[in-house]
Amino acid sequence: MEFTDAELQQYVEQHTKPESEVLKKLNRETHANVLRPRMLSGHLQGRVLSMLSHMIKPKCILEIGTYTGYSAICLAEGLAPEGKLITIDVNEELEEMVRRYFEDAGLAACIDYMIGNAVEVVPTLDIQPDIVFIDADKASYAAYFDMVIDKMPSGAFIIADNVLWSGKVVGEKVDKKTQAILDFNKKVHNDERVENVLFPIRDGLMVMRKI
């Protein structure tokens, strides 16, 4: 997932605002106790998400895929006053840990944490999100996009993680998950409702602005 030379990556992180103490602790606990810790956004990507959120000043954020809550905390840092972040995940086993860190970050009051299948939950939400962050089941990325795009106002942003899929998008062998990412990237790139930039940050962030 890391495409930058290790020494250069270290330099980049050294010249990026550090994680808060809460995020450092969450990072450590995730790596120590949770399966597939590479799913965590981590320092650089987390600061990118926080920066984008601060720039947009969203009143409503929808996150599809909570994992241990790292990215939700980063995105919530930029919420407008009285803003709300809704985050959805299917893994109820992490709920206690996630809620504890939302409390520790002082953000529990502005985060609605929902356990369930986003494919079923999102259509029930009466919201107009200014930011949607997609970081869940890769095979459903296109479905998530279709579910949210018409809910969003002009000028709103969708951010999708893992769109480089560990570099497999340019590999010779294409498995089902890689094909799903390839199809999603092509779909977004050809959709006239959005303008898009694919940033080679960590495992790839596709940033889309609704026209």
DSSP calls for 34-75: SS-GGGS-HHHHHHHHHHHHHHH--SEEEEE--TTSHHHHHH
Calpha distance 117→29 (Å, rounded) = 25
The letter for the amino acid at 140 is S
The letter for the amino acid at 68 is T
Sign of the alpha-carbon dihedral angle for 182, 187, 190, 193: negative
Class level of CATH domain 6-210: alpha beta
Quick one: pLDDT at residue 4? 82
User: Is the pTM higher than 0.85?
Assistant: yes
How far from each other are the two terminal CA atoms of the chain, in whole angstroms? 30
pLDDT in tens, 139-177: 999 999 999 999 999 999 999 999 999 999 999 999 999
Q: What 3-state DSSP class applies to 174?
A: coil
